[in-house]
Amino acid sequence: MHFSALLPLATLGLGAAVARKMTPRHRDHGVPLNLLSKRMACGETASLVCYGVAGGTSQNLDPEDIEYAASYLRHLADTNNNPIWNMPTEFDCSEWTLPLFGTGTVLALAKHINPRTNSGVTYYDLARTFDGGEDATEDQRRKSLLGACGKNGGQLGVIVDESNPAYSSAEYVAAKMKPKDIIIKLVRDPSFPAAA
């Protein structure tokens, strides 16, 4: 697995990103630039937060859109040799839009919560955080964002399957990555009209 060739440039939307001087991992859905910009506030934790319940405002997401987004991430993993979402060490806590398309009400963000960790997680684990996994047990689903927060949306540390061979690959180990310190946030895509 070679990290520099994990996803085709078109999949990441690089053409649009470069042309508009936006960060390459963003997708362009007419989202206001202030929402697409890299955010850098540190201090969040991997603990579950359901918006509108334990803080924030309910996002009124369509649960089917959350399931679709998780399936899309698994599709990216299946068709791109199980890529790694990498958030390297830095001096801030970046937050990036995940490369998802056609997810309706859902805007999925990945946030780095420890600037000293070279974090890397599989797309399967990103998806697992959304819905508990492709063949999730009732308990696994309940611990996911969909199961715990449902239409409210929320945030949670990536649920990692440390037995995945990607985490013990020579390239992963050589890069000194760790499968931790990334949280997923499911919020309402501002380009998707609110329900009347």
pLDDT in tens, 179-189: 999 999 999 99
What does the pLDDT look like over 82-141, one tens digit per residue?
A: 899 999 999 999 999 999 999 999 999 999 999 999 999 999 999 999 999 999 999 999
Q: What is the pTM of this model?
A: 0.79
Residue 55 has pLDDT above 90, yes or no: no
The more confident residue out of 20 and 59 is: 59
- Whether 96 is in a domain gets the answer yes
Residue 43 has pLDDT above 70, yes or no: yes
CA dihedral 74, 76, 80, 85 (to 10 degrees): -90
**What are the C-alpha distances in Å from 183 to residues 109, 113, 137, 194?**
8, 7, 22, 25
- Whether 29 is in a domain gets the answer yes
- Whether 93 is in a domain gets the answer yes
Eight-state DSSP code of residue 116 = T
Report the pLDDT averaged over residues 39-53: 89
What does the pLDDT look like over 140-169, one tens digit per residue?
A: 999 999 999 999 999 999 999 999 999 999
The more confident residue out of 71 and 39 is: 71
The answer to whether the beta carbons of residues 179 and 119 sit under 8 Å apart is yes
Among residues 61, 62, 110, the alpha carbon closest in space to that of 87 is found at 110
CB atoms within 10 A of CB 37: 12
- Whether 194 is in a domain gets the answer no
- Whether 196 is in a domain gets the answer no
- Whether 193 is in a domain gets the answer no
Secondary structure (3-state) at 94: coil
Tell me what percent of the residues of the chain surpass a pLDDT of 90: 72
- Whether 81 is in a domain gets the answer yes
- Whether 134 is in a domain gets the answer yes
Number of domain units in the chain? 1
Among residues 137, 155, 144, the alpha carbon closest in space to that of 51 is found at 155
**Domain around 37:** 3-188
